[in-house]
Structures are given as C-alpha cells and as structure tokens.
Amino acid sequence: MFTIEHDFDATVITLVDEGSPHLEEDVTIQSFEECVTIEQFDPRRDEVVKIVMSMAQVRELAAALNLPEGVYRLSQKR
C-alpha cells in the first residue's frame, strides 16, 4: 500500500510494507524541485535514516529498474 500527498514544496509518497510477518518500517519519499529524499526509521539505531538523491540520480535509478545487468550512462537530450 502507498499514499501520495502534495504539500506546498514537495510531493510525499509513503510506502507501507504489508507483506509477510517480517514487516519493514514505512518508507517516506519526498520529491522537491532540486532533489528527492528517502527516509526510513531504523529500529536498531532508534533513528530515522535519510538518503538525499539529486534529480539526475533519480532519473538513473528509474532507468536502471528496467534494464538488464550492465554498466550504463544516460545521454542528455539536446
């Protein structure tokens, strides 16, 4: 399950793990104009872990999800 909310400066997506008995913590993704942040609570450290990705990294991640194993470089549109 997931939710999508549109805030003033970001779009917030929350992914909820509804899987098997060993469930992971919710993942919150916030998309800003200049970057995307991914946050998840880590119960072992008792803190929220945050990853910040540039928009270029997000585009490469999206492309990588649909490609076979290998090394790639996205070309910029002209």
75 in a structural domain = no
70 in a structural domain = no
10 in a structural domain = yes
pLDDT at 68: 86
CB atoms within 10 A of CB 13: 16
- Give the range of the structural domain holding residue 50, as residue numbers without chain letter: 2-64
In this predicted structure, the answer to whether residue 22 has a pLDDT above a threshold of 80 is: no
C-alpha distances out from residue 15 to 3, 23, 37, 75, Å: 7, 12, 13, 30
71 in a structural domain = no
pLDDT at 78: 65
In this predicted structure, the answer to whether residue 63 has a pLDDT above a threshold of 70 is: yes
Q: Per the structure block, which two tokens stand in for 41?
A: 């609570």
8 in a structural domain = yes
pTM across the whole model: 0.81
Per-residue pLDDT tens over the stretch 37-61: 999 999 999 999 999 999 999 999 9
Model confidence at 20, pLDDT cuts 50, 70, 90, reads: confident
> Number of structural domains, the chain?
1
76 in a structural domain = no
73 in a structural domain = no
